[in-house]
Amino acid sequence: MDTYLDKLAPWEQRRAYYSNIKPGNNIMEVKEALKKQTQKMITAQITPTGSIISSQERKGDVIQDIEYDIKSIGKGMHGLKAAFEWGISDVVWLIEKDTEDLKEIIRAVCGASNKQVNMLRDKAEDAYASRKMDKALVHFTELEPHTVKDFSVCISLGIIYLFHKIDKEKALEFFEKAVKCAGSHFAYYASYALLYKALIKRDFGLIEEAEECTSEAIKLSPDFAEAMYQNAQYNALLNRPEKAVPLLKKIIKRDIVYCLKINSERDFEEIRPGITELYEEIRNEKNGEVEEKLEGEKKNVVLLNNAVNGIQKLGYEVPKDSSVELFQKGEKSEIDKMLENNSIFDAHIADILLTLLSKKLKRKKELLKRKGNEININIDSEIQELSAGMVGKKKSGFVSFLLYFICGQIVAFPFGKYIGMPIGICITEGILFFICLYVSVILPQSKWKEINDKQNEKEKLLRVMKKI
């Protein structure tokens, strides 16, 4: 096995797609540049992949849809995950030092401020950010005795010695100090330093020791994806697929882009058959998950469409959501077609689309419920309005009819007598009979029918709404 004692190893050199990434005083610009270059990294790694990872028609979508955002990049190595490369260590560490978490830790570790020490720290950090690594080395070296518990100074010195001075023995010394200073209290940064310690051990040909360092890093920070990836690499070099493959499965679930990184990594050649089986397993599991989700969403679409149709049948307008067109009868949705491509990234992007669809359907359901509640309130108002004049009135109206008819004789009989007997009496009595019948029976019955119709409408609406 080749060793790299006084020169950078191939895996420590900056890849072409990160060639323009350099430290800088404007951290946001550095993050933006790194974000842009990660897309180039994905492009470079996805081009040669086989169909099990991504179908040809999906490769362009992968580049567009899978991208690291500023928030994740701002978390440094932990947030970059598969986008991290050793060659951009100085840039990533600059981003790490800009996080509030690390600033708080440094304030806590260093205790009471010392003006001279603070000025020296500012000079060191400014020189580092300005890429004046010789000056940074001088200032950090002066600073280090005054900040014996500050692991960040040790990591800065380790990175300068490793990547800019190519003095790996000295770099190892500072990374070991950083591990001791950080300890279990600052587990992530201890793990961070352990990964560099492991890297140098590998450069010296000490793969077993490198594996032990990364194994310790995982114990300290179990959710640190890059620690798991590095450990899998060393176990692959030691031909231990039983240890490497389960770790690779874990990290691929955390970041799908690790599929690309693993695929292009020569360190995994000895265990490539196991990795191929792993890819098939991940693809099949993902396809199964997406198919199950898809069926669930199709049922949701049917329920929502039925609810929309039910409300429309009641005579109310409801705007249709275009997202349900994904599942029109007799047509294969884009998601169905992706699943037919039978690749990891097709299934992954299908899952992203389903998540978006699920949010749209949830929003549609909320709007539909709101519309249903609005209609329900309006129906209640109409029922109350119709019922207002019907208080105390029975549906039969027979007693009211008799009362009106008897009272009406006071006017009808004299008026009929005045017109002339018997025709006048017949006419006035007939008119009175019709008026009493209309007022006491026909009109109330019509009102009661309207009320009943509205109540039936309300019940139908509630039945429709219950289904969503």
Region 89-115: mean pLDDT is 88
pLDDT at residue 323, rounded to an integer: 39
pLDDT at residue 206, rounded to an integer: 97
In this structure, which amino acid lies at residue 442? I
Ramachandran quadrant class, 242 (left: phi over 0; alpha: psi -120 to 50; beta: rest) = alpha
Fold (CATH) for 10-264:
1.25.40
What phi and psi values does residue 76 have, to the nearest 5 degrees?
75, -145
pLDDT at residue 319, rounded to an integer: 63
Residue position matching structure tokens 């884009």: 334
What are the tens digits of pLDDT across the range 393-424?
A: 554 555 665 665 566 666 655 655 556 667 76
pLDDT at residue 330, rounded to an integer: 47
For the ranges 197-201, 253-257, 258-262, the one whose mean pLDDT is highest: 197-201
Instruction: Give pTM, 2 decimals.
Output: 0.78
Region 338-359: mean pLDDT is 87
Asked if pLDDT for residue 235 goes beyond 70, the answer is yes
Region 83-105: mean pLDDT is 93
pLDDT at residue 20, rounded to an integer: 83
For the ranges 258-267, 299-308, 351-360, the one whose mean pLDDT is highest: 258-267
pLDDT at residue 247, rounded to an integer: 97
pLDDT at residue 91, rounded to an integer: 94
Average pLDDT, the chain: 84
Chain mean position to CA 417: 89
**Structure tokens given for 251:** 């990290």
pLDDT at residue 236, rounded to an integer: 97
CA dist., res. 60 & res. 74, Å (int): 26
What are the tens digits of pLDDT across the range 161-216?
A: 999 999 999 999 999 999 999 999 999 999 999 999 999 999 999 999 999 999 99
Q: Which residues does 413 contact at the CB level (< 8 Å), separation at least 6?
A: 425, 428, 429
Region 209-234: mean pLDDT is 97
Domains of the chain: which residue ranges? Answer: 10-264, 279-386, 389-466
CA dist., res. 273 & res. 8, Å (int): 30
Range in 2-16, 151-165, 188-202, 438-452 with the lowest mean pLDDT: 438-452
Higher pLDDT, 213 or 56: 213
CA dist., res. 389 & res. 385, Å (int): 8
Closest CA to 259 of 34, 49, 36, 35: 49
Range in 148-157, 252-261, 458-467 with the lowest mean pLDDT: 458-467
pLDDT at residue 55, rounded to an integer: 79
Asked if pLDDT for residue 124 goes beyond 90, the answer is yes
Confidence of residue 439 (pLDDT cuts 50, 70, 90): low
CA dist., res. 121 & res. 124, Å (int): 5
Secondary structure class of 186 (helix, strand, coil): coil
Confidence of residue 448 (pLDDT cuts 50, 70, 90): low
pLDDT at residue 364, rounded to an integer: 83
